[in-house]
Structure 1
């Protein structure tokens, strides 16, 4: 069999598995709580392995396998600043914010992170804040989802010559199908499978590429002999405050995790505090393997002068340095993994439309129906954006990740730490964080990058601190 045939067979098998998971999970979905958080707010929830691996996969996929590898491949050591930021996000969400998120979900029956943000608010302030949060989630996630569709479409086009439009439509149809059936249950189980696939691929492809380059020592020697000094600079050759700005901008990317609904929902849904701690360890261990492998791949690919624009390095290396059968399986599996990350984003966006917007349903079944309809609508918008507004994967994901993190992260963190804040100041902090991040994103330069990643948070914290209420004596 040719490599293309192997990829196709593996891809079809993987899609059948995803649809099977969706059918299995559909039997566990009876209302909004099941559909959006696996029953975590009513005594159900995820175990440690499913929660930890699905969280890990939801943080990564296209932008890590393709975007992170591409930035290290093209720009060198400066891209490594992303790693401590990302692991800092893991630790903050699971171990600092996790206890309060998990406990309140179990005690109060929260379904989404917006329920947690607006808990304790009253009347008009609660409704307006819920609507604001829903609008921001929908706006950001349309960009995020379109980047995932684009990543898979590009890869399918490269492997099969299928055409980006056909590839995007095919992948989107399968994902929407199993998500409509099984909701959060299906998304979490398939994401856990995806995490295992990604880990295996991020061991095999880097090992083969480093071996082809003659080993780690040969890679380092070749890079020092052929690359300019700036490639090894942690500031990309910038000096003084400009260099600090470059480093701080990349490091600050990890802050975005503190405001991502699709990640925090995993923590909210874990069954027990003990399993939450186990899930944290699983996520961190997975991350160590993934990022170690991708860094080695990026540098080895650069040493070998792999002919790629950067974001397709993973697929090019698999095709060049793995046996055809193994390469076919790896490419197909990773391709499906990239696409299936969309499921968590679709669920979060759908919950924003049908639940967080404040619409009241007399019949719980009607809420479930509108959640599914909202998911279809979001998917259609994202597909249209993918096909009409192409942009590089890393840029799209980074925009939505940072903007949503700046809007929600400070509020969620202070609430998790027990600070009581007046309603209007919570609303103002969300607006300020998001607005500053968006404005700074559209300005070039390292200073703007620091403002986008850090000043948006600092101002948000300042607003919340000003609006805190005194603790009762």
Structure 2
């Protein structure tokens, strides 16, 4: 365990900077639009790095390397699915969503957009959507706190529960105060730190083992099964299900509120092409490096890691490779990964509770000050529940993320895609898709039929239910179709 003062100094510098950003942007968040979307003023670098940092949380530096440590190069299927989903989301969704949310009464959240898109006067759509957001983000945010708990426990030997509260404390601080701009600027810093950290560890380890060729020979000798692209499975059916499940992670991108909201916040849709290139390059390099962390770690570490400790492979390699201060900076990048996603998720949950639940349920006319306060109270409440869920130190980060990822992908992915591309989609169809997708994931997870990742049936059933219910329903009004056409015209220009 590292107790050197230089490690503590490295962490203190990083944490102090994050908290300063929260205080600075507390003064800048004057209304709900500022707090939730930063006033739609993000540039391409800030948009892309914020989106990817909030996407690739502690699971990229801990969960995915741990998976590769256990299974080998076959973990690349998961990376391929995620990289492909990232590219498709930026190319086909980002510009349309940015334009349509502005046309649809300047929508500030995903449920708000769906409500405005279909003129939902019943308010059932934003309420149902907000409920699923709260359920799945509780699990997602909890996974980030688990990663933080393992981080501080590994580095300083601090009690796991104490570590949870340290992680949550800083995230809550700058999210509570600064809102979207604080989260986005911290994400820019954190995304940069994550990128260099995930590259430097496997590269340094490979040269410590004698170079790339020597490392490859060592893996071939000591971990030959790890070099099989098909993984450890020999049964064809199980292998096929495993590959489909890994690739299906890419479907989740179309429904992740904390990523989609970045598209909505960019200053101009014209900046999205540059942002797309930055994001896709970042993801390809980062995910590939994460897989190699696990693969190289298998032969670099002298003491084998077992059970959920495999997710500490990046942390342990870093400790052995670098002097204390440098190791502290790289460990700060892990904390950055955890915080960037947790803060984004807390903000989206808080925004949804205020804008989509509270505003639609209360009888009186709300104002921005009231809604911002409700958002901040929600940050505290959701954090407390997420901490409670994170109390088990044996929890697998990747397993928790997979559950929440599937929930969002299935509940909102088909609804977002079809709302942007299909003129005939109706309100009832949208409600059916959100409910069917979300419930399918919740039910399928409990039974794990065929070993198939729950996002696959959830996404498919949601997609089908939207189409069937919409076609059985009366066509949307002229007002709705005219607005859809106006948004499509903006996309062409």
Residue 310 (1) aligns with residue 310 (2): yes
Q: How does 1:41-60 map to 2 (within 5 A)?
A: 45-60=41-56
Structure 2 equivalent of residue 236 of structure 1: 232
Shift of 1:388: 5.3
Structure 1 equivalent of residue 180 of structure 2: 184
Residues matched between the structures, number: 465
Separation in structure 1 between the aligned mates of residue 138 and residue 269 of structure 2, nearest angstrom: 33
Structure 1 equivalent of residue 485 of structure 2: none
Shift of 1:238: 3.2
Structure 1 residues 150, 230: CA separation in 2 closer, same or farther (over 3 Å shift)? closer
Structure 2 equivalent of residue 326 of structure 1: 326
Structure 1 residues 230, 166: CA separation in 2 closer, same or farther (over 3 Å shift)? closer
Q: 2:293 aligns with which of 267, 292, 297?
A: 297
User: Does structure 2 conserve the Cα–Cα contact (< 8 Å) formed by 1:402 and 1:453?
Assistant: yes
Shift of 1:362: 2.9
Structure 2 equivalent of residue 362 of structure 1: 366
Shift of 1:202: 1.4
User: Does structure 2 conserve the Cα–Cα contact (< 8 Å) formed by 1:153 and 1:165?
Assistant: yes
Residue 402 (1) aligns with residue 412 (2): no
Task: List gaps (5 residues or longer) in structure 1.
Answer: none
Structure 2 equivalent of residue 32 of structure 1: 32
Q: How does 1:7-406 map to 2 (within 5 A)?
A: 7-40=7-40, 45-107=41-103, 108-123=105-120, 125=122, 127-227=123-223, 229=225, 232-307=228-303, 308=305, 309-357=309-357, 358-359=360-361, 361-387=365-391, 391-406=395-410
Shift of 1:123: 4.9
Separation in structure 2 between the aligned mates of residue 411 and residue 456 of structure 1, nearest angstrom: 12
Structure 1 residues 400, 14: CA separation in 2 closer, same or farther (over 3 Å shift)? same
Structure 1 residues 362, 329: CA separation in 2 closer, same or farther (over 3 Å shift)? closer
The answer to which of 101-110 and 304-313 deviates more is 304-313
Structure 1 residues 320, 103: CA separation in 2 closer, same or farther (over 3 Å shift)? same
Q: 1:438 aligns with which of 437, 442, 446?
A: 442
User: Does structure 2 conserve the Cα–Cα contact (< 8 Å) formed by 1:346 and 1:375?
Assistant: yes
Shift of 1:262: 0.4
The answer to which of 459-468 and 307-316 deviates more is 459-468
Separation in structure 1 between the aligned mates of residue 459 and residue 207 of structure 2, nearest angstrom: 43
Separation in structure 2 between the aligned mates of residue 99 and residue 431 of structure 1, nearest angstrom: 26
Structure 1 residues 166, 287: CA separation in 2 closer, same or farther (over 3 Å shift)? same
User: Does structure 1 conserve the Cα–Cα contact (< 8 Å) formed by 2:53 and 2:340?
Assistant: no
Shift of 1:48: 0.6
User: Does structure 2 conserve the Cα–Cα contact (< 8 Å) formed by 1:260 and 1:401?
Assistant: yes
User: Does structure 2 conserve the Cα–Cα contact (< 8 Å) formed by 1:156 and 1:162?
Assistant: yes
User: Does structure 1 conserve the Cα–Cα contact (< 8 Å) formed by 2:407 and 2:437?
Assistant: yes
Q: Provide the aligned C-alpha RMSD in A.
A: 2.0
Shift of 1:253: 1.1
User: Does structure 2 conserve the Cα–Cα contact (< 8 Å) formed by 1:78 and 1:232?
Assistant: yes
Task: List gaps (5 residues or longer) in structure 2.
Answer: 482-493
Q: 1:420 aligns with which of 417, 420, 424?
A: 424
Structure 1 equivalent of residue 490 of structure 2: none
Shift of 1:454: 1.9
Structure 2 equivalent of residue 455 of structure 1: 457
Structure 1 residues 421, 208: CA separation in 2 closer, same or farther (over 3 Å shift)? same
Shift of 1:376: 0.9
The answer to which of 317-326 and 55-64 deviates more is 317-326
Separation in structure 2 between the aligned mates of residue 137 and residue 26 of structure 1, nearest angstrom: 25
User: Does structure 2 conserve the Cα–Cα contact (< 8 Å) formed by 1:148 and 1:339?
Assistant: yes
Separation in structure 1 between the aligned mates of residue 410 and residue 180 of structure 2, nearest angstrom: 25
Deviations 1:261-309 (A, max 9, x none): 1000001111112211111111111112212322222221112245333
Secondary structure at the aligned position of 2:470 is classed as coil
Secondary structure at the aligned position of 2:452 is classed as helix
Separation in structure 1 between the aligned mates of residue 302 and residue 287 of structure 2, nearest angstrom: 20
Shift of 1:231: 5.6
User: Does structure 1 conserve the Cα–Cα contact (< 8 Å) formed by 2:172 and 2:380?
Assistant: yes
